[in-house]
Structure 1
């Protein structure tokens, strides 16, 4: 395992692979198995992964509860918890809405601490920007939590450079969490150079693109129930085969060039970016993490990045991003 640190904090040895626990929450992923999920978290820690990323919105608190149960008897200083704030499902219509008001943040922090069974959160992230709440109000509330010791670092997720700059007028921003992977690369255009210049750390979500880069899917793969991939344009009949063809070609290249599988390539592609970064590896069964051991001990060259890009462009003629996942803005 390789490690990084977060500048201007005392978070100094974070694994460059984090466990992503969205699927563990169950909703949007066809349900969950609590015992199996806890075993997955323990297996991640055994593999040297010491960052666990979660959020209240994952299963309406279920993911945080499971993480709390998994870590309650483990030394708190041996791992880092990254969770989020600002998605509110209290309206009762089955949807979550952006809500970064002071009142909601102060409620959510205590709810998260209770579910996680801990006294503090290492990285507390605004989940989505909320156009109905002034960024000043959100930032100053987060700063108050940092000053009170309830959180150790402030992060933002899905924010633009302009929004981060406004936020920083009132509170520090230590981390950003964008969607970023071989198939979804908008982050590199504007935000990556900014993050590099500001010496921030990026926590990349969607690292294996909802399992597409795992190498386990075929053109015949089906997704049941409320699985969010049923709403992802990449997994629809008009696009899915082209993405599968790209995955097969990338897997072949990785094996011929480095003796590595596509999933190891997908994570290595992120770790070797020119900034401090942590790739979120989503899993809900222990065996889904076994390939982590293939990530370390090698590096991609600049020429490799060009080759990977050419392979993707050869097969994916109509690329689409993760825009379908954006939650709605509440109404006043």
Structure 2
């Protein structure tokens, strides 16, 4: 693993530029759990030098955190453990809930499942329009004071919402969707993070597998796979995105790299970013080293932009993933 690292404000341990994303390990919306492979994936990530593991209670309704807690027994001090708060669920339906009383319950549940006495980075998963942001921030700041949390972050927040949060408590990180195909944060969130010295944990850097270079037009999505509801995986958009991947692969080939490595490298070259590499099987994180210790040049970046403009005539963002407010 490379020496490419970033410092997260409030944390003593430097963070690897690639983190293990564990949404799929939870099983829900990804075809069900596979705990044996999940544990092996976590072990392989550590062996590769990945020291940031990002999860959330809603990933499998606690299952992802539970698997991680068991897998990290005896190894907890090797990782920066990041989880989230602010989503609730009832009868399998997820909704936003960042009330202080919910936060107090969630942190104890997460600590128990993760088998740890503290969370390194605690992030508000989605803004809750029915709870004032300052109330949420105040409850989280108390967790830092109590020693249960080391640093605070937010996910899917706008700059204005981050400003509201930072009036009450310091922010170390922001976690938005960011990849070659979903670049909305370049208009506001990314410049804001750079200006305010926040680390960006970019989720979905492979765009639900589209940018892995392994997806074909005949791929079918079954069961509760969230790609069944993602507009990118429906025609005519699916063909447009696959065409872009095929053309982007020529740039990867020029560097002697895989398409997957190109997609991750692009994210790493855009700013103070950590790419959340999602995986549920050990082989899915093979190639981590291929994404590190090289850079895309200015000509590459211009060529990438030209390909996206030419091939994707009807782009769409990740809005379909946003959970509703609570009733």
Provide the TM-score with structure 1 as the length reference: 0.96
How far the C-alpha of 1:304 sits from its partner, in A, is: 1.5
1:122 alignment partner in structure 2: 120
Q: Distance in 1 between matches of 2:261 and 2:12?
A: 26
Q: Note if 1:173 corresponds to 2:171.
A: yes
1:315 alignment partner in structure 2: 311
Q: Distance in 1 between matches of 2:251 and 2:194?
A: 29
Aligned partner of 2:268 among 271, 292, 305: 271
Q: Note if 1:212 corresponds to 2:213.
A: no
1:79-99 deviation digits (Å, cap 9, x = unpaired):
11110001101x32x211100
Q: Note if 1:301 corresponds to 2:297.
A: yes
1:247-273 deviation digits (Å, cap 9, x = unpaired):
1111122112x1011110111111111
For structure 2, the residue ranges without an aligned partner over 5 or more in a row are none
How far the C-alpha of 1:62 sits from its partner, in A, is: 0.5
1:82 alignment partner in structure 2: 82
Contact 2:16 2:49 in 1 (8 A): yes
Contact 2:97 2:128 in 1 (8 A): yes
How far the C-alpha of 1:303 sits from its partner, in A, is: 2.3
1:56-95 equivalences under 5 Å are 56-74=57-75, 76-89=76-89, 91-92=90-91, 94-95=92-93
Q: Note if 1:280 corresponds to 2:276.
A: yes
How far the C-alpha of 1:320 sits from its partner, in A, is: 0.3
1:1-332 equivalences under 5 Å are 1=2, 2-7=4-9, 9-74=10-75, 76-89=76-89, 91-92=90-91, 94-256=92-254, 258-274=255-271, 276-331=272-327
Matched residue SS, 1:122: strand
1:124-165 deviation digits (Å, cap 9, x = unpaired):
000000000011110000000011111111000000000000
Matched residue SS, 1:152: strand
Contact 1:4 1:12 in 2 (8 A): no
**Runs of at least 4 residues of structure 1 off by over 4 A?**
none
Q: CA RMSD in A?
A: 0.9
Matched residue SS, 1:96: strand
Contact 2:83 2:119 in 1 (8 A): yes
Contact 1:250 1:308 in 2 (8 A): yes
How far the C-alpha of 1:237 sits from its partner, in A, is: 2.0
Contact 2:172 2:199 in 1 (8 A): yes
Q: Distance in 2 between matches of 1:227 and 1:196?
A: 34
Q: Distance in 2 between matches of 1:10 and 1:234?
A: 37
Q: Distance in 2 between matches of 1:271 and 1:236?
A: 28
How far the C-alpha of 1:188 sits from its partner, in A, is: 0.6
When the two structures are aligned, how many residues end up with a matched partner?
325
Matched residue SS, 2:150: coil
